[in-house]
Amino acid sequence: MKIFNIFFCLVFIVFAALQYNDPDPYLWMPIYLYSAVLCWLAFRGKYYPKAYIAGIAAYTLYAVYKFFESNGVWDWATKHHADNIAAQMKASTPWIEDTREFFGLAILIGVLLIDYFYAKKRSARQ
C-alpha cells in the first residue's frame, strides 16, 4: 500500500498543478490536493476513514452532477458519439472538459475507496 499511496499522492499533486490553467482551478486544485494529502498520510501509515468517506461522498455527488449535466458524460456518450476525449490537451468542447472531469473524479473515488477498505481491514486486525 505504501507504493500505491505515494504513487497516487504524486499523481494527484501533478493533476492539481495541471489545473493552474483550467477555467476553475480554485475548485479542482483543492479537490486533487485533498486526496494527495490523504494518500501522503496513508503512505505514512495514518488512515482516516471518516476523511475518506467525506471525500468519496463529495466526489460522488459531483460526479453524478457531471454525468447528467448539460454537456456532461451522458451527452458526450449519446449526442456526441463518445468523441475521443484524449485527442488534444486543450478541451475544445464543453462535453470533453466535463467528461474528463468526471473521469478524474472516478479515479479519486477509486483511490479513496481502496484506502478506506484497507484502513477498515487494518483496524479489524488490530
Q: Write the CA distances from 62 to 95, 112, 120, integer angstroms.
A: 15, 15, 25
pLDDT of 117 > 60? The answer is yes
Q: What is the pLDDT of residues 28-80, one digit of tens each?
A: 999 999 999 999 999 999 999 999 999 999 999 999 998 888 777 777 767 76
pTM: predicted TM-score of the whole model, two decimal places: 0.87
CB proximity list for 85: less than 8 A, separation 6 or greater: 76, 91, 96, 99, 100, 103
Alpha-helix residue ranges (DSSP H) falling in the chain: 2-18, 25-43, 49-68, 73-78, 94-125
Q: What is the pLDDT of residues 73-88, one digit of tens each?
A: 777 767 766 665 555 5
From the number of C-beta atoms within 10 Å of its C-beta (0-12, 13-18, 19+), residue 44 rates as exposed
User: Residue 110, Cβ neighbours under 10 Å: how many?
Assistant: 13
